[in-house]
Structure 1
Amino acid sequence: MTRTAALLGASLLALAPFAAGPSLAQDAASISVPPLEYTHRELANGLDVYAMPDPSAGTVTVTLWYDVGGKDDPQGRSGFAHLFEHILSRKTVNLPYGQISTMVENAGGSRNASTGQDFTNYYETVPPQYLERMLWTHAERMARPVVDQAVFDAERSIVKEELRQRVLAPPYGRFQRFVIGDNSFDESIYRRSVIGSIEELDSAVIEDARAFHEAYYRPATATMIVSGNFDPAELNRLVDQYFADIRNPDRPVPVFERPVETPRTAPRMVEAYAPNVPLPAVGVIYPGVPANHPDAAALEVMSGILSRGESSRLHQALVYRTELAANAGLGVGSNEEDGTIVATATVARGKAIADVEAALNAELARMRDEPVTAAELAEAKMEIVAGELRQRETASGRAFILGQAIVSENDPKAPDENLAAIQAVTAADVQRVARTYLNDQARVSLRYQDESARPEGVPEDSWRNPAPVPTFLTVPPAVLPPNELLPEGQRMAPPALGEARAVVAPSVAERVLPNGLRIIAAKSTDLPIMNAQLVLGGGAAADPADRPGLATMTAALATQGAGGRSAPEIARTLEALGANVGGSAGADATQMFVSAPIAAATEVGAVLADVVQRPDFVEAEVARSRTQAVNGLRVNLSQPGPLASLVLNRLVYGAAPYGAPSSGTPESVEAITREEIVAFHQRWWRPDNATVIVTGGMEPEAAFAWAEQVLGGWDRPSTPKPTVGERAGAPTGPRVVVVDMPGAGQAAVTAAVRAPRRADDAYYPLAVANAVMGQGQNGRLFQEVRAKRGLSYGAYSTLGARAEGGALIASTQTKNESAAEVVGLVLAEFDRLAREPVDDQAVTDRETFITGGFLRSLETTGGLGGLLAGAVVDGLPLSEIETYPEKIAATTPDSLREAAGIVSAEDAIVVVVGQADMFIDALRAAHPDVVVIPAAELDLNSPTLGLMQVRTAE
């Protein structure tokens, strides 16, 4: 572990143990997080290089941040920086299209990129021996990118699908990206959405892309951060070798004359409408501050008090006590040059928009008019510091903290200075910034409702900001000749690999207490944080057939009052200690988790003991949780992707326990009673049906002692431990089902075949086969659907891990018009996997990809805990964290082909959710037996979805 991590541990462990009570304020204020450690150098061409070595890391992360983002989009080309982010990842003079992704995945690494208003970044995390190769790819993209018509057309199509998937398909996507985005600023450089619009993307041409690159992408606008396991002297040599000779273009970077923002002096209301909005939403926008503003720290603390955790003011006032809203929150968004403060709430079913607005306004007024309490102040600070500790756990996390500070605040010291500023915030500071910035004369109020509520005569774009959009720069034309991919024999070969470093899995220890409780401990970090997971056998498969969602609701309610503590008291106690807690029910097990600073372990453990052993299940909490769950389900069921997954799962497993939705349906959740919850808890929550897994900075003996103190007194019932019967049932027959969702912004396409148990030997070669077909950007589905045709933002497959039969599932989303074509492509890949041999090198590459992701999971406290929990649930030995890479690596082309024999289009179940009239004719031509179910008539409680009552669409 780095010296930074060691200092983090020393600084917190030196504190006296936390105690629930008044001393919390003093303890929180005394925490000092040591600074991020880095070195900095600037090359003669202006490239900034930051090095953050960590000899104990199993990986190295290379990030390159460019000082170009959405605010630099040319006139009439909103979304262009984001489009170019895609383009620059694809092809160079020496790298064919997609080769960068291939190279990273074949190394067992991961890569991605993102665009904000102020930046575009590209990043890879790979084994240390691949450092030089990654530096070379970044130099290629900076100096020798190929921007040709094929790349331009493909990436523009993909970006449009991303917009449909992230903005048009979710019920609140338009609200967040368009309604809030367009009304957050008036004349500001940040007025336009980073993702842009389909119309302006369509209007762009390839010359725009070449001009954009020539104008903005150069060493002088770039910052490189390398973090992880590397030799600093070697890094300096490699940076000089690959980057020192890259020249900046002779022309200066275009500079936009920033318009002077006219202060908003009168409030206004925005009414917006969109398809498939299950519950109305309301919002408030106030002008904010830049990221480096002196008031930023106080505003962050104010946001925490209003919105962070279940004890926050907005959650308590709008969601918990009054049940007016399904959710409520406030966020402070800060860019390099400006910021916003946005509060939103989703109106609960049956509640009035005006009542939610009044409650939201009352809490904002209370923040202005009354000082916050010492307890609220201390809790907000503790949550911020604890969150920072978790983000600094990995080398890549620390790199991103540093990079964000550089692009947003132009100051690498900002993360540490901001934490100090947060610790110094007073109650008076919070009230002062609330009075200053929550100014109702400068607010924009928002209402967002379903399209059916739009009055006649109100235009579809009623949400648009009436202030004129500023006129932005027009980037001058490119003057340099375009690059072209060199012929294969003339291309520069990637650099040779460096020396590999051995990766050692954490040591795992276990013991069983007299009450039957199994304890597993594995130290995973030197940071003073801990993660504990409680695994209870049964899970959603133990739900009665007419009560799907019972296990999930039991887990959710366990934290809503226990041992005489009310739900708000539990939330306040844990959040003041910097702890996160939660629970959910998967198919085979219920899991509770807690994450906290080690110094708070005793106090957190006392709460956990009550939550697990002595939940109150107060009738009022049951009713409240029931209402919140139903609100959440109605939102989920209005989204094509989640709904397609639920329908597919029901068709794959039918009436068997695995077939029922683990979170239930609105109808089943409405019917759950307190008595059923109490009985379920008594039956399944018992020490001889439970395992506690402790990971993080605790030594194993300390972890055992903690777990025994918390749950060693848990009484084991005299009754036999319960079991679940057959969970998966017999495989169902193939079918093609369409759920018709008029107004859906995209169509979700899913397909599945049944697969073996996780504990079967056949699982491992099938996992490699699944990686060939649909994992990562090298998967065949991604290549065929996205890379070659631009029909989706992504297309993938997963191999479900269940104690009894799992499923291999392919999924993607596409524009409605392309749904039938994409179904054909997905089914063709099912057949291809079973029919077409995979050569040795491809098998090896996919094995490396799988094991690389597995090993990265071992680096984090939560990741290690999740892998161990998976072993427990699936009945695997704990040595699986050591032997899994070997079992994957044992796959051969023959064993892969044998395992893939279960995958075929003939046996697949296919589900499409979207606007059926846009694709049904083409789909029926290929699948005459397709069944269409109107979304309003879908019955997820029925093993047949109500298919006996519907007929093939005419």
Structure 2
Amino acid sequence: MTRTAALLGASLLALAMPATTWAQSTPAPITVPPLEYNHRELANGLDVYAMPDPTAGTVTVQVWYDVGGKDDPQGRSGFAHLFEHILSRKTVNLPYGQIATLVENAGGTRNASTSQDMTNYYETVPPQYLETMLWTHAERMARPVVDQAVFDAERSIVKEELRQRVYAPPYGRFGTFVIGDNTFDESIYRRSVIGSIEELDSAVIEDARAFHEAYYRPATATLIVAGNFDQAQLDAWVDQYFGDIENPARPVPVMTRPVETPRTQPRLVEAFAPNVPLPAVAAIYPGVKASDPDAAALEVLSGIMSRGDSSRLYQALVYESQLASNASLGSSTLEEDGSVVVSATVAQGKAIADVEAALNAQLDRIRNEPVTEAELAEAKTEIVSSELRQRETASGRAFILGRALVDEGDPRAPDANLAAIQAVTAANVQRVARRYLDEQARVSVRYQDESARPSGVAEDSWKNPAPMPTFVTVPPAILPANELLPEGQRMAPPAPGEVRTVAAPQIVERTLSNGMRLIVAKSTDLPIVNAQLVIGGGAAADPTERPGLATMTAALASQGAGDRTAPEIARTLEALGANIGGGAGADATTLFLSAPIASADAAGAVLADVVMRPTFAEDEVARSRTQAVNGLRVNLRQPGPLASLVLGRLAYGAAPYGAPSSGTPDSLQGLTRDEIAAFHARWWRPDNAAMIVTGGMTPDQAVAFAERTLGNWTRPAEALPVVANRAGTPTPPRVVVVDLPGAGQAAVAAAVRGPRRADPAFYPLSVVNSIIGGGSNGRLFQEVRAKRGLSYGAYSSLATRVDGGLLSATTQTKNESAAEVVALVLAEFDRLRTEPVSDTDVTNRETWLTGSFSRATETTGGLGGVLAEAVTNGLPLSEVEAYPERIRATTPETVTQAAQAVSADGAYVVVVGQSAMFIDALRAAHPDVVVIPAADLDLNSPTLGL
């Protein structure tokens, strides 16, 4: 039986924004269209939700299984996540990796994820491939192949994912292990979703087959389809492919839920780990499940405490006292339980005790003093405007629905939760603060570098002293294992259907009287607007001795402008549901304003001050400089980001593109207020800028908005400045290792110089790049991850720059395999020069590129970004339509010709990791390799200090 749910009728959920002392105009309500869907349940228990949108350029197919980390068997933590990988790979009719191949060859994208409560699999493709995607999901549900080869490969990949996400980042262990293990005691949520290497290694293939039989079936699944499709045709395909899938006769194993004993006295956890640049602290409190009536008040409390720059924790710990480089309070709600975690990273030179005292003062304040009506209104507006943005695409709406079905079992929950948010009062916030921020139930955490560990303190000192619960034991599999059919017996995937065309947005261009370009493209009917301001120059305009100047100028512009201080700017924007951001890229500075149309003029007035009248107050310069340096200290201890910075210096040397756009601790410390103001005066001018307006405004509305916002921006009399020779003369290729003690993984990066973005050679080289390392069908991914399990992912990219970018390959692997991965990457750089490619290979990669481009233009911000790139690189606006045509015009011959520019002999190579674990093997292949201790690395120097 089918029912249609048009929630709240045809009405819109609205949040009226009360007038505040910060907004000088009468605010209008923000409207959020309710979720609309059709639902039916098949006889086998499969729930099907359809969310048709005839204006969408894509269709999203998602299957959500009611199985997650909480269902991991005893001694098999991380198993649901491991099986997420396994179920993506192989079926009776699809060889290993063929699902990803089908999706990318259709111009689509796919992924999967696992949480404590669920596992989901999803694809977004052009609408004509809907039937194909439905068929692949039915294949995975009914006919997966779980054999030894798949099991071994995916377990190896999951271990690399754990190393990349947990062991390599400075704070990976902090969030996943230390906070994770101490958030719950007896709860089913006690273990981490990603598990441990020890328990992954102890698993065998029989465990995987048993797990699949136990949990994966139509009755534990929900199919969600959203986008451009015909409802009747969808129903017929769902019946055809899913209707006959039977549920196993055995019931789903159910673990008896242990009762979580309320904590009645606080506990302190001290943890130590390698490669931690700044200490961190946390406070963990019990929370609520997603369906709890108090969840809305806790979300508003979280918004007041840490959402945006006007939040209490940011203002008290980061902005005013500068004790911390970041601070947050988050309420995490799961299906059966929840938590509240407060955390902060201690700023350089500050004391852990002082940060804890400042956190405690803010926690006491929220418990003991009612929040103001202005704070309450601001938090609600931020939450509602964020929800509005998430509902812009069919894919976004599908994920909102899926999450609600998992967390609350109610498709109406997202709209009901918005209504509950609106009903929260100041008294509600204080009540939940007193109830849940209970000091007797608190677990306090201190996280420091290994060097601070006192003698005699064990490595596992962070572990929860409560005994780990005993989890369910899954019965052995009894069904015969599936096998891949011989090639001649396999069922072929359904062919693509009829193309469903969608009208492209009309692009309108104007020039204001002050010389500023205005580009408008109405891209949605939602009441949101996105305005991007592109200012020529960018980081390439930084003086040689001042890398980071353009970036710092962009960051400081919103830290005080006109007659508003930095906190006043933050409060004004957040009360309007708007935000301003941006930064300096290589060739341009880009600022963006995102706001509901109802508050666009009030937010635009703030943007006008930020652009035309930034104050660059001395205290703000000092504060932003300190925050930026603290951020850099963390980034320079992460293998991947550090490898990218070193690679830029190797490739461009002393040329403007060689300097790190973020600056370095030394260069930022030397920046003065006068230098920043002079850079702004020189480069920030209307005749060096273009405003791009996308979203729900009509062209006439957008022109009027731009005139009101920046029409009186005065053009100076001086000639426009110019940056010369941004890329410089190519430097000789080199292999450099940065020895980073304590690095949990090694980052590998290699690159060759590429053409200017406006050069016709850019298009065939884009196809070359996609063959080498584009997506999961790229050769790097196949060689490094799929065949050998040496990395969680390996990709390449082609940077777009005015004077020539880089074709770069990047990956991370365990330190021991770094030399092997370098060899694999360089082999792919050479392969296309001599190995012919087929028409089919080229066409498939063209489709993947054009599909990615199409998805990028599907969102308001994405379309604005594509137009901003065209402006930055001096391309005509017709590039939005011309790009797919030029990509499709490549041939095997032009690909081979373009590939001659990519070679191992001409590559710059960087490896960042614990060099003792791979240097001998790397030096055997590259005798001229240079090793630089991380402590001696000088990114200010074109030679890196050598």
In 2, are the aligned partners of 1:307 and 1:315 still within 8 Å (CA)? yes
Compute the displacement of 1:743 (Å): 1.1
Q: CA RMSD in A?
A: 1.7
- Report the counterpart of residue 853 of structure 2 in structure 1: 854
Aligned-partner SS, 1:878: coil
2:872 pairs with 1:873: yes
Q: How does 1:214-253 map to 2 (within 5 A)?
A: 214-253=213-252
Aligned-partner SS, 2:760: coil
In 2, are the aligned partners of 1:6 and 1:526 still within 8 Å (CA)? no
Q: How does 1:542-621 map to 2 (within 5 A)?
A: 542-621=541-620
In 1, are the aligned partners of 2:17 and 2:377 still within 8 Å (CA)? no
Compute the displacement of 1:497 (Å): 1.6
Aligned-partner SS, 1:719: coil
Q: Distance in 1 between matches of 2:264 and 2:547?
A: 52
Q: How does 1:14-163 map to 2 (within 5 A)?
A: 21=21, 31=30, 33-163=32-162
Compute the displacement of 1:22 (Å): 8.0
2:259 pairs with 1:263: no
Aligned CA distance change for structure 1 residues 98 and 25 (closer, same or farther; 3 Å)? farther
Q: Distance in 1 between matches of 2:606 and 2:26?
A: 21
Q: Distance in 1 between matches of 2:56 and 2:685?
A: 38
Opposite residue 78 of structure 1, the aligned amino acid is S
Compute the displacement of 1:35 (Å): 2.3
Q: Distance in 2 between matches of 1:254 and 1:819?
A: 42
Q: Distance in 2 between matches of 1:215 and 1:25?
A: 59
Aligned-partner SS, 1:723: coil
Q: Distance in 2 between matches of 1:492 and 1:748?
A: 41
Compute the displacement of 1:11 (Å): 4.7
Q: Distance in 2 between matches of 1:809 and 1:20?
A: 49
In 2, are the aligned partners of 1:282 and 1:345 still within 8 Å (CA)? yes
Aligned-partner SS, 1:358: helix
Bigger mean CA offset, 501-510 vs 102-111: 501-510
Q: Distance in 2 between matches of 1:8 and 1:242?
A: 33
Over residues 816-866 of structure 1, what are the superposed CA-to-partner deviations in whole Å (9 max), with x where a residue is unaligned? Answer: 000000000000000002221111000000000000010111110000000
Compute the displacement of 1:503 (Å): 3.7
- Report the counterpart of residue 665 of structure 1 in structure 2: 664
Aligned CA distance change for structure 1 residues 657 and 834 (closer, same or farther; 3 Å)? same
Aligned CA distance change for structure 1 residues 638 and 945 (closer, same or farther; 3 Å)? same
Aligned CA distance change for structure 1 residues 675 and 352 (closer, same or farther; 3 Å)? same
Aligned CA distance change for structure 1 residues 351 and 114 (closer, same or farther; 3 Å)? same
In 1, are the aligned partners of 2:15 and 2:422 still within 8 Å (CA)? no
2:499 pairs with 1:500: yes
- Report the counterpart of residue 487 of structure 2 in structure 1: 488
Q: Distance in 1 between matches of 2:256 and 2:213?
A: 20
Over residues 732-756 of structure 1, what are the superposed CA-to-partner deviations in whole Å (9 max), with x where a residue is unaligned? Answer: 1111100001110000000000000
Q: Distance in 2 between matches of 1:6 and 1:636?
A: 45
- Report the counterpart of residue 284 of structure 1 in structure 2: 283
In 2, are the aligned partners of 1:9 and 1:528 still within 8 Å (CA)? no
In 2, are the aligned partners of 1:215 and 1:253 still within 8 Å (CA)? yes
In 2, are the aligned partners of 1:17 and 1:599 still within 8 Å (CA)? no
Over residues 311-365 of structure 1, what are the superposed CA-to-partner deviations in whole Å (9 max), with x where a residue is unaligned? Answer: 0000000000000000000111011000000010000001000000000010011
Q: Distance in 2 between matches of 1:759 and 1:800?
A: 12
Aligned-partner SS, 2:468: coil
Compute the displacement of 1:461 (Å): 1.1
- Report the counterpart of residue 509 of structure 1 in structure 2: 508
Opposite residue 308 of structure 2, the aligned amino acid is G
- Report the counterpart of residue 952 of structure 1 in structure 2: none
- Report the counterpart of residue 779 of structure 2 in structure 1: 780
5+ residue gaps, structure 2, are none
Q: Distance in 2 between matches of 1:425 and 1:760?
A: 56
- Report the counterpart of residue 900 of structure 2 in structure 1: 901
Compute the displacement of 1:900 (Å): 1.1
Q: Distance in 1 between matches of 2:363 and 2:581?
A: 28
- Report the counterpart of residue 756 of structure 1 in structure 2: 755
Opposite residue 378 of structure 2, the aligned amino acid is E
Q: How many residue pairs were aligned?
A: 943
2:331 pairs with 1:341: no
Q: How does 1:170-181 map to 2 (within 5 A)?
A: 170-181=169-180
Q: Distance in 2 between matches of 1:809 and 1:126?
A: 27
Opposite residue 581 of structure 2, the aligned amino acid is G
Q: Distance in 1 between matches of 2:741 and 2:673?
A: 37
Aligned CA distance change for structure 1 residues 930 and 7 (closer, same or farther; 3 Å)? farther
- Report the counterpart of residue 649 of structure 2 in structure 1: 650
- Report the counterpart of residue 834 of structure 1 in structure 2: 833
Q: Distance in 2 between matches of 1:487 and 1:358?
A: 67
Compute the displacement of 1:496 (Å): 2.0
- Report the counterpart of residue 771 of structure 1 in structure 2: 770
In 2, are the aligned partners of 1:386 and 1:597 still within 8 Å (CA)? yes
Bigger mean CA offset, 363-372 vs 510-519: 510-519
Q: Distance in 2 between matches of 1:939 and 1:187?
A: 49
Aligned CA distance change for structure 1 residues 179 and 138 (closer, same or farther; 3 Å)? same
- Report the counterpart of residue 315 of structure 1 in structure 2: 314
In 2, are the aligned partners of 1:796 and 1:810 still within 8 Å (CA)? yes
In 1, are the aligned partners of 2:101 and 2:777 still within 8 Å (CA)? yes
Opposite residue 738 of structure 1, the aligned amino acid is V
- Report the counterpart of residue 950 of structure 1 in structure 2: none
Q: Distance in 2 between matches of 1:483 and 1:726?
A: 60
In 2, are the aligned partners of 1:5 and 1:527 still within 8 Å (CA)? no
Aligned-partner SS, 1:38: strand
Over residues 709-748 of structure 1, what are the superposed CA-to-partner deviations in whole Å (9 max), with x where a residue is unaligned? Answer: 1111111111111111110001111111000011100000
Aligned CA distance change for structure 1 residues 374 and 692 (closer, same or farther; 3 Å)? same
In 2, are the aligned partners of 1:737 and 1:912 still within 8 Å (CA)? yes
Q: Distance in 1 between matches of 2:12 and 2:463?
A: 50
Over residues 455-513 of structure 1, what are the superposed CA-to-partner deviations in whole Å (9 max), with x where a residue is unaligned? Answer: 11111111100000001011100000100000000000111221111243211111111
In 1, are the aligned partners of 2:539 and 2:584 still within 8 Å (CA)? yes
Over residues 794-828 of structure 1, what are the superposed CA-to-partner deviations in whole Å (9 max), with x where a residue is unaligned? Answer: 00000010000111000000000000000000000
Aligned-partner SS, 1:752: strand
Q: Distance in 2 between matches of 1:365 and 1:836?
A: 67
In 1, are the aligned partners of 2:621 and 2:673 still within 8 Å (CA)? yes
In 1, are the aligned partners of 2:576 and 2:595 still within 8 Å (CA)? yes
Aligned-partner SS, 1:484: coil
- Report the counterpart of residue 373 of structure 2 in structure 1: 374
- Report the counterpart of residue 889 of structure 1 in structure 2: 888
When normalised by structure 1's length, the TM-score is 0.97
In 1, are the aligned partners of 2:549 and 2:663 still within 8 Å (CA)? yes
Compute the displacement of 1:16 (Å): 9.0
Compute the displacement of 1:583 (Å): 2.0
Over residues 227-283 of structure 1, what are the superposed CA-to-partner deviations in whole Å (9 max), with x where a residue is unaligned? Answer: 001111111111110111111001000010010111000000000011111100000
Compute the displacement of 1:367 (Å): 0.3
Over residues 541-588 of structure 1, what are the superposed CA-to-partner deviations in whole Å (9 max), with x where a residue is unaligned? Answer: 000000000000000000000001000000000000000111200000
In 1, are the aligned partners of 2:332 and 2:340 still within 8 Å (CA)? yes
In 2, are the aligned partners of 1:328 and 1:343 still within 8 Å (CA)? yes
Over residues 38-82 of structure 1, what are the superposed CA-to-partner deviations in whole Å (9 max), with x where a residue is unaligned? Answer: 111011110000010001111110000000000000000000000
Q: Distance in 2 between matches of 1:62 and 1:869?
A: 30
5+ residue gaps, structure 1, are 948-954
Aligned-partner SS, 2:460: coil
Aligned CA distance change for structure 1 residues 256 and 630 (closer, same or farther; 3 Å)? same
In 1, are the aligned partners of 2:23 and 2:572 still within 8 Å (CA)? no
Q: How does 1:597-746 map to 2 (within 5 A)?
A: 597-746=596-745
Q: How does 1:377-526 map to 2 (within 5 A)?
A: 377-526=376-525
When normalised by structure 2's length, the TM-score is 0.98
Over residues 6-33 of structure 1, what are the superposed CA-to-partner deviations in whole Å (9 max), with x where a residue is unaligned? Answer: 9999858x999986548899968x6553
Compute the displacement of 1:398 (Å): 0.2
Q: Distance in 1 between matches of 2:193 and 2:539?
A: 40
Q: Distance in 1 between matches of 2:416 and 2:15?
A: 21
- Report the counterpart of residue 921 of structure 2 in structure 1: 922
Over residues 679-738 of structure 1, what are the superposed CA-to-partner deviations in whole Å (9 max), with x where a residue is unaligned? Answer: 000000111111100000000111111111111111111111111111000111111100
In 1, are the aligned partners of 2:23 and 2:602 still within 8 Å (CA)? no
